[in-house]
Structure 1
Amino acid sequence: MQLADLSNGLDTVWVVLTAAMILLMEGGFALLEAGFVRQKNAVSIIMKVFVDIAFGALVYYIFGFAFMYGKDALGLIGLTGFTMSGDLAHLPANISHDTFWLFQCAFVIAVISIVSGAAAERIHFRAYIVYTIVMTGLIYPISGHWIWSPSGWLAKLGMIDFAGSAAIHALGGFAALAAAMYLGPRIGRYGEDGKVRIVPPSNLPLASVGAFVLWFGWFGFNSGSTLSATNAGIGHIAVTTMLAAAAGCAACILFTMLRYRKADPPMVINGALAGLVGITAGCSVVSDGAAILIGAVSGVSMVLVSEWLEKRRVDDPVGAFAVHGVSGSIGTLAVGLFALPGASAHSGLFYDGGLRLFGVQALGLAVVAVWGFALTWVTLRLISLWKSVRVSADEERVGLDVSIHGVPAYSQERDFIDVDKLREP
């Protein structure tokens, strides 16, 4: 066996393994969101995660991947490679097309899962299926093409988004904001006097375990984006990922203790995730110190934006926008400030690189944010012409588990359920 064959084999194993780690993050999303929402809506969260995986994978295979990585003329959308056949010459040469698709498929599933949390407890299941198809087949692949395809127009400008602070998290976060605003707040979330009513999480230990699973999977998310098992930067990427997450978590512990006189558990959980989101764009090109700063700023910003959204009556049950949209924006812009000389074509502003890279990062972020928000709003509006996007008031009060899926998350005193009643239309 030649050395090149051995290296390619190792790369294949590495990418498949890290893809599996990213897919495991869906378990983290399921636990996190089920723990944050009320008990009567836990099953609906799990069902949406299965929709993310099943429909997301199929749609991305049939045409989403082609739109993202197919060849094109203008840098806007791929036009070849449907069902993984045809011209896909732009893909990495060290791994097979199948291997690369699997890794990217895990990413697209993560994008739609971000929106799921913001729409929790009130989006209709059928409407969510349709939105999932649009997000995984059109919205994400097209903007992803701009950033990650070698022929994409933002890629040609030199935008750096190593593992997706913009392409995945900012896009998903601003799409989540649009969904939360379009659906409106949950019944009773805001009193008639305008006061905010807290909806207590149903199971914080469950949410915590979900965050730990996500934290674990993030090492595959970031380190796996090298697409090579022999890349010397894997260790550094893992370290910056760990430091940013720790800094986001620590900053939220200290900040909420100062602000509320007690450490706020949901904010602390989201603080770690905010740090992870913030470092995702620059994990390969920033220093350890910069990673700590990015994580801490992301964590504190998440708390402040969560408060700001509450005052404006935007109901985001899991903090999807504050975690992904805001921290993804911070991480994307931070690359323009902290990118180390030699780590990329252009260094950051603080390393005498000037404003060029920062300007490209800001442009890319703005375009992705507007794209994600606008296309989500338009999609939900179009869906509403066919089917109500939001469940009825009665269904919401009963809970989506029973009213939509016909089964509670946790068994009650009775041992049996009448099948005829369960399957009533």
Structure 2
Amino acid sequence: MENQIFELSYALDTFYFLVCGALVMWMAAGFAMLEAGLVRSKNTTEILTKNVALFAIACTMYMIVGYSIMYPSLGASLLAGITGDGVAGAEEPATYAPSADFFFQVVFVATAMSIVSGAVAERMKLWSFLIFAIVMTGVIYPMEGNWTWGGDPVFGMYTLGDLGFSDFAGSGIVHMAGAAAALAGVLLLGARKGKYRADGSVVAIPGANLPLATLGTFILWMGWFGFNGGSVLATASVENANAVAVVFMNTNAAACGGLVAALLTARLLFGKADLTMALNGALAGLVAITAEPSTPTPLLATLFGAVGGILVVFSIITLDKLKIDDPVGAISVHGVVGLLGLLLVPMTNDGSSFSGQLIGAATIFVWVFVTSLIAFFAIKTVMGIRVTEEEEYEGVDLSECGLEAYPEFVSAK
């Protein structure tokens, strides 16, 4: 009887893990639609190509090398083809299939890389970006993941968790890490032509398809239930089922709080209801709650999301003043608000500390930013990372992909 209960629990937890992983994989479509909607139509095909290609590269690189860096014992088991009810070297049997864990983890890697895609949009060479994706998903992300979630340090005896660092589903480990890499790329690339005038004024470059951007946001919103809910790691008990329900509830509450707060902030600042700020506000709320969605009350989760929604508006404005050109607001949404999410954790989770959160955030940012800067600089030296001014003017769809997303759109002569 006891064995039958274990088998049922194992099957349910594995199935739940796989479903949540599929939801997170669907976030790749959300990023693709969001980014395609927020760039100009002449760059849409290249954006879509980057998003599908980076997902394939992330999954392959994480399987070959990344998973073994992040989880050494689990990676060895995966490469050895062990897919049974246990993991080589584990002290006790796993409660779900090890291959399900890999699938769930690999879609997180792709999420981190998708953040970079939007920030460098409209002026980065496609193949340079894909080469960076190899480095990011194969080495940079897995290494900081080992120091945080890995539990089996590659270097040293301790993980950041031993210092009081906690990140439930990845506000820092996934989102801030992706934003740190994006910032490195943006600083080396420079701004899009015409974005900033000599007198210091900022020229708005509106996206071509706001319905598509809105659809992308809703897809990301839905996928986030798998992102945060799956991080409970189980559901086949009363305790775990309740925990999953709380995480789903708080995740949704934070997104709502973020959207409403960003919309109101934009109304106060600009006198209009800015849709793009509202969309980024929802995403900011989701990022803010990701570090700890299991311990706040629903009202507190809403307030946390609202703080993220307000912060993201001011962050986007500030980055523009600093002439840091981020077409989709990825650095603000995932980086600035990712840090906020980490700092909110000790307010409801006694197992963390502000000092531990700060040490963890600094470690993740410095590692990812510096290594990404080195990688981008090396690629720039060897093959260049930015398209020519003429190619940027014509649109990178034709120069990088040879076809347009909207070929029926023709300009009057």
- Shared fold, TM over 0.5: yes
Kindly provide the CA deviation profile for residues 167-190 of structure 1, in whole angstroms up to 9, marking residues without a partner as x: 001111121111111110001111
Structure 2 CA distance for aligned equivalents of residues 93 and 157 of structure 1: 26
Aligned to 1:173: 179
Give how far 1:208 is off.
Answer: 0.3
Structure 2 CA distance for aligned equivalents of residues 138 and 289 of structure 1: 39
- TM-aligned CA distance change 1:85 to 1:371, over 3 Å: farther
Aligned to 1:293: 303
Of residues 184, 187, 201 in structure 2, which corresponds to 1:195? 201
Structure 1 CA distance for aligned equivalents of residues 22 and 93 of structure 2: 19
Describe the SS at the equivalent of 1:233.
helix
Give how far 1:268 is off.
Answer: 0.4
Describe the SS at the equivalent of 1:139.
helix
**Conserved? CA contact 1:124–1:389, under 8 Å:** yes
Structure 1 CA distance for aligned equivalents of residues 372 and 409 of structure 2: 42
Unaligned 5+ segments in structure 1 are 72-77, 348-356, 415-425
**Conserved? CA contact 2:265–2:310, under 8 Å:** yes
- TM-aligned CA distance change 1:101 to 1:92, over 3 Å: farther
Aligned to 1:43: 45
Aligned to 1:400: 396
Kindly provide the CA deviation profile for residues 359-417 of structure 1, in whole angstroms up to 9, marking residues without a partner as x: 10111011111112111111100111211111111111111111110000012279xxx
Kindly provide the CA deviation profile for residues 149-174 of structure 1, in whole angstroms up to 9, marking residues without a partner as x: 12341123242111100100111112
- Tell me whether 1:114 sits opposite 2:115 in the alignment: yes
Letter in 1 for 2:214: S
**Conserved? CA contact 1:253–1:263, under 8 Å:** yes
Structure 2 CA distance for aligned equivalents of residues 295 and 412 of structure 1: 41
Structure 1 CA distance for aligned equivalents of residues 220 and 89 of structure 2: 33
TM-score, normalization by structure 2: 0.92
Give how far 1:17 is off.
Answer: 0.6
Of 325-334 and 154-163, deviating more is 154-163
Of residues 362, 386, 397 in structure 2, which corresponds to 1:366? 362
Aligned to 1:162: 168
Aligned to 2:156: none
Aligned to 1:265: 275
Show the 5 A alignment for 1:293-372. 293-339=303-349, 346=351, 357-372=353-368
Structure 2 CA distance for aligned equivalents of residues 275 and 302 of structure 1: 9
- TM-aligned CA distance change 1:401 to 1:226, over 3 Å: same
Aligned to 1:29: 31
Structure 1 CA distance for aligned equivalents of residues 338 and 228 of structure 2: 14
**Conserved? CA contact 2:184–2:376, under 8 Å:** no
Letter in 2 for 1:38: R
Give how far 1:80 is off.
Answer: 4.7
Aligned to 1:60: 62
Describe the SS at the equivalent of 2:199.
coil
Structure 2 CA distance for aligned equivalents of residues 408 and 298 of structure 1: 36
- TM-aligned CA distance change 1:166 to 1:92, over 3 Å: farther
Give how far 1:116 is off.
Answer: 0.4
Aligned to 1:283: 293
Kindly provide the CA deviation profile for residues 204-258 of structure 1, in whole angstroms up to 9, marking residues without a partner as x: 1110000000000000000011121221300100111011100000001111111
Structure 2 CA distance for aligned equivalents of residues 195 and 395 of structure 1: 24
- TM-aligned CA distance change 1:412 to 1:198, over 3 Å: same
- Tell me whether 1:9 sits opposite 2:19 in the alignment: no
- Tell me whether 1:217 sits opposite 2:223 in the alignment: yes
Structure 2 CA distance for aligned equivalents of residues 207 and 299 of structure 1: 17
Structure 2 CA distance for aligned equivalents of residues 404 and 29 of structure 1: 20
Give how far 1:192 is off.
Answer: 2.4
- Tell me whether 1:83 sits opposite 2:79 in the alignment: yes
Give how far 1:81 is off.
Answer: 5.3
**Conserved? CA contact 1:166–1:332, under 8 Å:** yes
Structure 2 CA distance for aligned equivalents of residues 89 and 242 of structure 1: 38
Aligned to 1:421: none
Structure 1 CA distance for aligned equivalents of residues 13 and 271 of structure 2: 49
- How many residue pairs match? The answer is 394
**Conserved? CA contact 2:69–2:139, under 8 Å:** yes
- TM-aligned CA distance change 1:203 to 1:130, over 3 Å: same
Q: Hey, which of these two has a bigger chunk of helix by percent?
A: 2
Of residues 175, 190, 196 in structure 2, which corresponds to 1:184? 190
Of residues 238, 248, 261 in structure 2, which corresponds to 1:251? 261
Letter in 2 for 1:58: T
Letter in 2 for 1:106: V
Aligned to 2:99: 98
- Tell me whether 1:207 sits opposite 2:213 in the alignment: yes
Letter in 1 for 2:355: G
Aligned to 1:353: none
Letter in 1 for 2:23: M
Structure 2 CA distance for aligned equivalents of residues 298 and 92 of structure 1: 40
Structure 2 CA distance for aligned equivalents of residues 253 and 89 of structure 1: 51
Letter in 2 for 1:240: N
Percent same amino acid at aligned positions? 41
Give how far 1:108 is off.
Answer: 0.4
Letter in 2 for 1:42: T
**Conserved? CA contact 2:70–2:145, under 8 Å:** yes
Unaligned 5+ segments in structure 2 are 154-158
**Conserved? CA contact 1:302–1:326, under 8 Å:** yes
